[in-house]
Structure 1
Amino acid sequence: MKQLVSQSLLGMAGATFLVCLSQPLMALVPNNVGVILNSGSTNTIGYRIYVSPTGEANYVDGNGSGKGKLPEKLTNRFFRDLKAAEPLSDLPVKPKCLKSTSFGTTTTVSLGGQQSTDISCPGNAKARRLDNDAIAIAKALKVTNVPNSKGKPLPPQNF
């Protein structure tokens, strides 16, 4: 009986360890991975895209999650533009940037602990290039703002 209880506890501990181990690995974003975050709007679901320097990309939108491989030229341009725009938090937002109340979204990019302001209202050429990159990456991966009525909310971002 003692051995059975011991084996059961060991089995539960192992299963718990595996579950706990998998959670942080999914939640951590390496410092060299660029993240594109679209807020969604009142009527649409946003999205998150994770881009590695090799062009491997993972994403989640209202249709679920997926992965893809970006063209080398687009990947290189995105990372070059991210580096050129540092510090990302200093990117200016265009004054009086008007957005629809129902469909207006905010798009930010981050890399290595830095996060930009809203690049969808670019206040300079660096922010405009990043916005163009984010649009091109989302298009290449077929990531979109899904209407609330046709998709599922994004899972929480755990970091």
Structure 2
Amino acid sequence: MTFLKMNRPTRLSFFILPLLAGCVPFSSSEAVKALPVTLAHDSYVSDIEIKALPPDATPEFKAKLELALRTELTKCAKGSHPLRVEARVARFNGENAGRALLLGDSNIVRGSVQLFDPANGALVGDYDVNRSVGGGGVLGAIGLSGAEGQMAQAFANQVCDQAFKAETKPQSH
């Protein structure tokens, strides 16, 4: 059956469905120095400091990142031993709605998080954070909107998943 011999709704679907599309998340975060399991179970975050942001990040992004880290770390780090968190964001790219609609685009956040024992200043955990959400079409453009809040939340979720839930994941070698 050739394209021209297809019924009209079928032909239209070839043009409409790609415009709808959607979003696909991707993470490649990893531990540089994993938080010891006992600290992961017995710690909470007492202080959060944003040490670096890319030049194109807005002041709103810094506030959203700090709020997301505080909110998520309160949920996943519930112990009694305090830790200090230093976060550095090296790259942040928000979506371009026009490009997402026509070609596809992605929100990207990359950086690192270090966890310190405030009692002695020792580095107890170090993580590279890399999260992106790509999408295209109308649904992709909608899903990628609000990039600053979305990527701040994704960054915070990656910190929780890597530092405080790592003991439930199998180790890969």
TM-score w.r.t. length of structure 2: 0.26
TM-score w.r.t. length of structure 1: 0.28
Which structure shows the bigger proportion of residues in strand conformation? 2
